[in-house]
Structure formats: structure tokens, C-alpha cells
Amino acid sequence: MPTLEDAIALAAEAHAGQTDKAGALYILHLLRVMQAQESTEARMAAVLHDLVEDTEYTFEDLGEMGYPSEVIEALRHVTKRDGEPYADFAERAGQHPIARRVKIADLEDNMDVTRLDSVGEEDADRLNKYLRAHRRLTDGEMPTRSHENTASSEDQRREALIRALRDRTPEMEKWIGRMSDPDPKYEQQDFVWHLLLQSFATWGSSRGFDGLINTEENYRRVTYGRLKEISAQRRPEHVEEVLRDATVRYPESKSTYLSENVELISEMGGLQAAREEALGQPGAEAKMDFMKQFKGIGDKYARNIWMDARHPDFRDKVALDQRIRGITELLGREFSSYEAEEDFYLSVAEEAGLSGWELDRLLYNFTEHFEASIRGATP
């Protein structure tokens, strides 16, 4: 009988060359779904859940290979049939216990918009489809409610969030005070390079300039000045080695991006010239466009770089990423676009007496507190 390792190897071979919406290797999605499962059978089904739908393999092939009948039956439920409406497919996936757990994990991974540089109308439609399926699988059929009752419930949750933001704890006030730091990052000569590096390397674990990618030693190996000393041919290999030492995801592509960005800054005239050009851009949109010329930087990271630098042009901006998605769902909202969600959260910030980036920091650092407040207002 095949082992879990055999199933992983089969998935890696069958999906070789396939990528997800963010351009990452597709096998990484399958492994994330697998890691959300507990039993060996569920993990097998998870890593193979797109095998029949997206490759030439069949259920019969899996049977001949000796895969357990329970795994194959789960795969039948989690494989969409030709012409099958997505809602019917989701309902059918929920009829098998393993398939249901696999599909929930699949949807949750697919709804993680933080891996996308930007979210367009097509992405928003797909996310809403996934959200409806996720609700069906996790909550079952909800009782029919009138539009008025639904609106009232959403209003109550929104008001609960605003109250929690107004009734801030002393610790929250300390975080707000940090936003008026007299020495913001954009005053640093190398802030452009530092925040480019942070975008690729930290995944939320930055501890300041010296502790950027796991250790101070790693940081010193990839400063702009150090990389300029290395030949353009040798540079990607050097950066990849550092990223691997720091256990950064996707080190191959990121090392290429960072190496090319060294050349871009060099063409601008160096760190100080890049800083002056960045700060000289008129307004938030122009500053974001400046950052988007760097390799690997899309709309999301271009915005986040300036917010992390705490530039005043971005005082009324909100970074819409993973931490806010859970709050959005608790509020009963469906993601439509970055612009619509930012407008919503900015209206919340205004009523709570906060700027956009103050709201952003509070939601980031006290997520569980605000989620509990919203749950407490749910009828």
C-alpha cells in the first residue's frame, strides 16, 4: 500500500510545472492543505485532491496503485465533475467526512489574498464564490433571514468593532503613540533597500533594521553595500544562500528579484539618490508607482512599504491582508475589492477617532481582542 510519502511524490510529479494564481509552485498549495489534516488518509486525500481534476491520472489508476478505498472515495467527492455547478460540487464535497475537511482547507488556502499582488474584479468574484462554499461547509444551511434583520446584524457587529476601538486599553494607546515616532524609517538613508528586503524576507518577523531576516549576521550579508561588492553573476547565488539560511520561502525567485533591484538602485545613483527620488514623488499614488518599478513589488507591497515607513501621505491607508480578512468575515462582509474594503475600514477609523494606519496597527497587534468584541455582538 502506498505511503503518505508516495502520495506526496506522486503529486509533485503529476503537478510539475503547474503554478497557482500567485505564480508559486502548485505543489506548495497541496502541501499546505495536507498540513491542515490530522489522519494519514486525510493527508493523502489532501495532497492528491486535484490529481484527477488537473492531471491525466484517474481514480482507477489510484486503485491499481493500491491507494485505500477511503482515500479514493474522498477524492471522488472533492473532484469537480465536468459541467457541475460549483454550489452543487461544494455540497457534494460536504457529504464525505474526509472530503469535507479537505475542501474546507482548500478553500481557506485559496481565499488567502495576501499572496496576490493585487485583487481585480475577477479575483473578487472567485473569492466570494469560495466564501459562500466555505460557509456552507462550516455552518451548514443558515436559516432564511429578512434583509432588514441581516442588515441589522451587520450594523451591530460594525458598532461593536467601533466601540472596541474607542474603548482602547493603555497598551493600545502605547501602540498609537509609536505612530508619531520622531525618527520614522523613511528618514533612514537606506529605507528603500531595507523595506524592499523586508517585503521579500520577513513574512511578518521583522525586528528592526538589524534583525531583519532572522539574524543580524544574515542582514549584514545582504545590505545594499555588501551586495554591490559582489559581482552581478555571483550575486543571486549569494542572496539565495542567505535566504535559505534564514528559512525564507521561495528563495530562488526572491534572490533573482533582490539582485535585479540592486542594479535598479545603482542606476538611480545609489541609496541616497533612490531615497530622494522616492520621497520626491507627489502624493501616495505616485509613491506607490515608484516602488512598483522594483522587481517583485506589486500594489500590495508598494502600499505596505510606505505604511511601514510611516510616511504621512499614507496616514489614511489600511493594509488589507490576512489579519483583516478574519475580521471582515466576522463582520459578515464579502470581499469585493481592495478599494471598497479600504473605504469601509476608513469609515470605521473615522468614527473611532483614528487615522487609517492607527486602525491598521491596532487590528494587527490586537486581532483577538477585536474578534472577540465582534463575536459578542453576533445574535
Residue 11 C-alpha from the chain's centroid:
24
pLDDT of residue 148: 42
Identify the CATH number of the domain defined by range 4-139. Answer: 1.10.3210.10
Give the tens place of pLDDT for each residue, 97-112: 999 999 999 998 888 7
Q: For residue 183, what pLDDT is reported?
A: 65
Higher pLDDT, 143 or 354: 354
Q: Does the pLDDT value for residue 150 go beyond 60?
A: no
CA gap 44, 32 in Å, rounded: 12
Q: Give the C-alpha separation, 190 to 176, whole Å.
A: 25
- Enumerate the domain spans of the chain: 4-139, 147-179+319-376, 185-309
pLDDT at 238: 94
Q: What is the pLDDT of residues 287-340, one digit of tens each?
A: 999 999 998 887 777 888 888 888 889 888 887 666 677 788 788 777 666 677
Given this structure, which CATH class describes domain 185-309?
mainly alpha
| pLDDT value, residue 220 | 84
Q: Which pLDDT score is estimated for 140? A: 46
- pLDDT tens digits, 350-365: 999 998 888 988 888 8
